[in-house]
Amino acid sequence: MLLRLVRDAGAHVVVLAVAGLVGAVAELLLPAALGRAVDAVLGLGGTATIWLTVAIALIGAAAVSEILHDLAAASGTARATRVVRHRLLRRLFALPTESAAGYPLGDLVARLSSQSADAGSAAAAVVGGVFAVLPPVGGLVALILLDWRLGAAYLLGLLILGLLLRGFVTDASEAAGGYQRVLGTMAGNLAEALGGSRTIAAAGTVDREIARVLRPLPSLSRYGTGTWTALATAAGRTALLAPLTLIAVIVAGGLLLALGSLTPGSLLAAVQYAALGTGLGAVLATLNRLVRARTGAERVAAVLDIMPAPAGARNLAAGPGELRLEGVTVRAGGRTVLSGIDLTVPGGATVAVVGRSGAGKSVLAAVAGGLRSPGAGRVLLDGVPLADCAPDALAAAVGYGFERPVLVGATIGDAITMGRPGGARRAAEVAAIDGYVARLPGGYDTPLDEAPMSGGERQRIGLARALRGDRLLILDDASSSLDTVTEARITSSLTRNAGDRTRLVVTHRRATAARADLVAWVDGGRVRAVAPHRVLWADPRYRAVFAGEVTG
């Protein structure tokens, strides 16, 4: 995943690599150039002007490479983050409903926002990490070339520092991973609370919900403290050992100078190489970025590794819109929600789906339109299995109306047409929402976020959007927020103006069931009976479904 994210940064990776290489080479050559300049000034060989010019050029090269590195790191991170967010969002929309339901909304938002940004920094972290180790390793080689005893003094301190940094990576990775997991849990709790804010306020349980959302806070604090503790511990140990290593090199260099084995310029170069290698603050910062990038990549990869539902490639055959469920079984949460459902909805007919709360009506509606795949059995529309249908063909054929529709698009018109040209006005008339739209300042061009609407108005816009399905309408309690008169008007309008569309209507209202051609009575995950409402009404158990006209 990290390597893929590095590739996602595009050409910026090349700039990062070139800038990192040039900067590292300049850092390694600069001490030698300064040492030669000192020796030249002392009359020990060479021309001081030439070596000073080389040193100035190396300083300039290091400065330019650092600027280019920072620019490429920022641009590459932005590009990789955009790519990984787009990839993650596409995968989320392609996941089977039961897989996506395993992730709280807030947790997914956290993965798409902060954790994708952490993963997107992989190019800067990986490439930076590669070139961050060049100065210490190059410093070791340079010291060995100057005198093997200098290299030995330096190597001992470098090995100890390397072991300490290894422990930092392990501790910081565990802490960062735990922090992001707990943060996702809290975000999920918060999203649930916001979704039910009115219910929470009405029940007077605000304090209880706040406590529930913040319950993982001690764990979040523990992991956060662990991250900073690991960083502070590594930095403290580095700050202690680095000067000792530098002192060891200086002492060894001083003795070698006294013995005549080193020139003053060579001693200056040795001290600078030792300082270059023991100043591991940059390496520590790079490792910290790498830990965050790897942890973010793991969180993103956990979702990307889930296989999406296979997409079909067939177009629907011409037909009246006959819907057929054959042996459909659905399991969720360790229990059977639908069991062996066999149901045929004749083309052009209206079938109401009724039942008590928890009977499986909404799951049946989701399976009937292809929003959810059955664990066993199959669903066919005009003889073509929905699993074999091309997504575009299925989207054009099936329209959904939900109890709480989520409206998307820039304008009211976009929310109705879903990006398809035309049809907004006619659909609005059928859904009895045209009067509301006419009162808006911009009509159908009114920005969606500037159009105040009630729950009923939102439902009617959702109904208008459902009419884009030209063969099958599935309405899942899509009129629950409407008054009886408005619902009757819409139902009558849908019956007259739905053309050849087949209609599957999940409802808890007796009047809607009575107006349907057939009623599918669902009980305990099974279809108890399919018949006209007037026939089923003779059964007291069926009448009990509408007691108080309140079911789920």
| Residue 346 reports pLDDT greater than 60 | yes
Give the model's pLDDT for residue 192.
Answer: 77
| Residue 552 reports pLDDT greater than 50 | no
- CB 311: neighbour CB atoms within 10 A? 13
Could you tell me if 446 and 412 are in contact, meaning their C-beta atoms sit under 8 angstroms apart? yes
Give the model's pLDDT for residue 483.
Answer: 65
User: pLDDT band for position 332 (50/70/90)?
Assistant: confident
Query: Which tens digits make up the pLDDT trace of 100-151?
Result: 767 777 788 888 888 888 888 888 888 887 887 788 788 888 888 888 888 8
Using CA atoms, how far residue 298 sits from 2, 130, 235, in Å, is 9, 21, 26
Query: Which tens digits make up the pLDDT trace of 140-170?
Result: 888 888 888 888 888 877 777 777 666 677 7
Q: Quick one: which of 171, 184, 164, 170 has its CA closest to 118? A: 184
Give the model's pLDDT for residue 490.
Answer: 67
Taking the CA of residue 239 as centre, how many other CA atoms within 13 Å lie in the half-sphere pointing to its CB? 6
Give the model's pLDDT for residue 493.
Answer: 59
Read off the amino acid at residue 340. Answer: G
Three-class secondary structure of residue 359 per DSSP: coil
Rounded Cα distance between 102 and 129, Å, is 35
User: What architecture is domain 2-304?
Assistant: Up-down Bundle (1.20)
Residues 6 or more apart in contact with residue 156 via CB below 8 angstroms: 245, 248
Could you tell me if 320 and 502 are in contact, meaning their C-beta atoms sit under 8 angstroms apart? yes
Give the model's pLDDT for residue 551.
Answer: 40
Percent above pLDDT 70 for the chain: 91
Residues 6 or more apart in contact with residue 362 via CB below 8 angstroms: 476, 477, 506
Q: Which residues pair with 343 in a beta bridge?
A: 325
Q: Which residues pair with 380 in a beta bridge?
A: 324, 385
Give the model's pLDDT for residue 56.
Answer: 92
For the chain, the structural domain boundaries read 2-304, 323-549
User: pLDDT band for position 60 (50/70/90)?
Assistant: very high
Rounded Cα distance between 115 and 300, Å, is 7
| Residue 64 reports pLDDT greater than 90 | yes
Residues 6 or more apart in contact with residue 547 via CB below 8 angstroms: none
Rounded Cα distance between 369 and 86, Å, is 26
| Angle at which helices 484-497 and 455-466 cross, to 10° | 10
Give the model's pLDDT for residue 532.
Answer: 92
Average pLDDT, integer, range 293-301: 86
CATH of 323-549, one of 1.10.10.10, 3.10.110.10, 3.30.2000.20, 3.40.50.300: 3.40.50.300
**Taking the model in full, what pTM does it have?**
0.69
| Residue 280 reports pLDDT greater than 60 | no
Average pLDDT along the chain:
83
Q: Quick one: which of 475, 291, 504 has its CA closest to 401? A: 475
Task: Provide the token pair at 295.
Answer: 């942890």
| Residue 2 reports pLDDT greater than 70 | yes
Could you tell me if 51 and 37 are in contact, meaning their C-beta atoms sit under 8 angstroms apart? yes
Q: Quick one: which of 469, 433, 464, 474 has its CA closest to 451? A: 433
